[in-house]
Structure 1
Amino acid sequence: MKKYELVVQDIISKICQNSISHKLPPERDLSELYGLSRFTIRKALAKLEAIGIVKVKLGSGYFVNTSVMGTPLIYNSITENSFDEMSYKKIKLNKTLPDQHDKQIFSISDDDYIWHIRRLRLIHNKVIQIEEAKIPVRLFPEMNEQIIESSIQKHALAIGLDIDSYLTSYQAISVSREDSELLDCKKNTAAMNITNRGFLKNGELFIVSNIIDINYQCTYHTPFNNESIDYRDKK
């Protein structure tokens, strides 16, 4: 981990501990505290601002963004980038009848079609993710290259869908030969496989996506669960 990233993690930790609850110390004080250059501290502060942990007030300094600390996911390596810095490139768009697995997970019938989408996600025009997604056609009657190469989430909101939550799973994998060519990396490079299921407020599943990312990072702040420890103790 780079030096500025260590500072980022430590400041997030101190915010979680309430050691820093309102305003961050001045840049000069942080430089002395961590024994690092002010340039490195500026990089750390810029990262904290980018991921939304702090807000800067010109002439006043950096302040804790308390609204962000109320959720378990503090940040991941995608959410630190603005939508203007992100773009997508369509690889595939097909409409097919569902297989048995599709019917099971989406609770649909034999004649309910599914959109199959494969696309690249780019940050500053560099490919950082491959995403494959399945979406019920009855929820998204229109799907085209323009929608795929923008935000499917924003499109869902625009057509009146009420998004509630996501169920996310992570698994370490090695990149296949086909995917390595798209990600511009070596075959068998370590990567994170991220699977998302998106739910509407009525409980309906509106998307299942599978993402491969070779540079994924995330930070969570979660409460301690006594019941989980007790349950595992009894097994």
Structure 2
Amino acid sequence: MYHEVAESIIQAILKNQYEDKLPTEKELVEEYGVSRNTVRKALDVVFAHGMLRRVRGSGYYVIKKPLQSAKVLNMSIGFDENSMVSGGPLKSKVVQFDTIETNEDLAARGNLPLGTKVYRVIRLRYLEERLYSLEESYFPRDVVPYLSDESVQNSIFSFLRETYQMTGDTTENYVHVQALDERYAELVGKKEGDQALGLDAINYLANGTVFNFSRTIFVYDSFALYYHTQNIDVKK
């Protein structure tokens, strides 16, 4: 339940429904009809995703991004990274949806054995009717029981959570610049060899099992990545 409350709060922040400060815990309890403990756990999630700043004795304040003109992708959000874009949500056009076996390249990218059967989903993602990114995602079939044509049109992570109670625990992100191959270039309207910002991600369940890995190529103008970190003092 707290995940749903946290996602709702994040969406409200992205839509500027809370311009500065969040309502009190008591007000959120009344708004969502849940316990105070559920609200506190939800706020912990939103805070961990870099959306809030805690002020002792005062409450939670919305973090203002310095790049107001940029469409910021918050890399700290784990529900469905590419739907949690400032100005979103993103809309999808599915280019390819099938089942394949991992070759050496995919096995290495997904930290999986060679020959693992995976769902392959290739989508063009649009923000306010403009092409935002090309997303190539893979889901091991021995972990993800079933994906439908309908499920890959929207948030696949939300579908997995609602249908199978499958929630990611940790994510490894690798940001890089790469030259577009012929197929990528054609899909995003660029020339072969053009440079583009890429993001490779591997998503793990709590037991350490890979349930998704992906590569996203960003082509949107005025694009920015945002990371949230929490300092930890290491005492000698």
* TM-score, with length taken from structure 2: 0.58
Instruction: State the 1:122 CA deviation.
Output: 1.2
1:205 aligns with 2:184: no
In percent, how many aligned pairs have the same letter?
Answer: 15
Which whole-Å CA distance do the structure 2 matches of 1:186 and 1:134 have between them? Answer: 25
Which whole-Å CA distance do the structure 1 matches of 2:49 and 2:102 have between them? Answer: 35
Q: Report if aligned partners of 1:90, 1:148 keep a CA contact under 8 Å in 2.
A: yes
Task: Show structure 2 runs of 5+ residues with no match.
Answer: 1-12, 24-42, 52-62, 64-71, 75-81
* 1:153 alignment partner in structure 2: 157
* 2:178 alignment partner in structure 1: 173
Instruction: State the 1:226 CA deviation.
Output: 9.3
Which whole-Å CA distance do the structure 2 matches of 1:160 and 1:70 have between them? Answer: 21
Write out aligned runs for 1:38-57 (5 A): 50=14, 55-56=18-19
1:76 to 73, 77, 80: 73
Q: Greater RCO between the two (CA within 8 Å, min separation 6)?
A: 2
1:63 aligns with 2:21: yes
**TM superposition outliers: structure 1 runs of 4+ over 6 Å:** 64-67, 224-227
Over 3 Å counting, the alpha-carbon distance change for 1:70 and 1:119 in structure 2 is closer
Write out aligned runs for 1:1-235 (5 A): 50=14, 55-56=18-19, 62-63=20-21, 70-71=48-49, 76=73, 78=82, 79-81=84-86, 85-100=89-104, 105-108=110-113, 112-158=116-162, 159-215=164-220, 216-222=223-229
Deviations 1:4-39 (A, max 9, x none): xxxxxxxxxxxxxxxxxxxxxxxxxxxxxxxxxxxx
RMSD: 3.5
Q: Aligned pairs, how many?
A: 172
Amino acid at match of 1:50: L
Amino acid at match of 1:160: Q
Q: Report if aligned partners of 1:190, 1:214 keep a CA contact under 8 Å in 2.
A: no
Instruction: State the 1:103 CA deviation.
Output: 5.5
Task: Show structure 1 runs of 5+ residues with no match.
Answer: 1-48, 57-61, 228-235
Over 3 Å counting, the alpha-carbon distance change for 1:126 and 1:69 in structure 2 is same
Return the index of the structure with the highest Cα Rg: 1
Over 3 Å counting, the alpha-carbon distance change for 1:113 and 1:180 in structure 2 is closer
Over 3 Å counting, the alpha-carbon distance change for 1:82 and 1:139 in structure 2 is farther
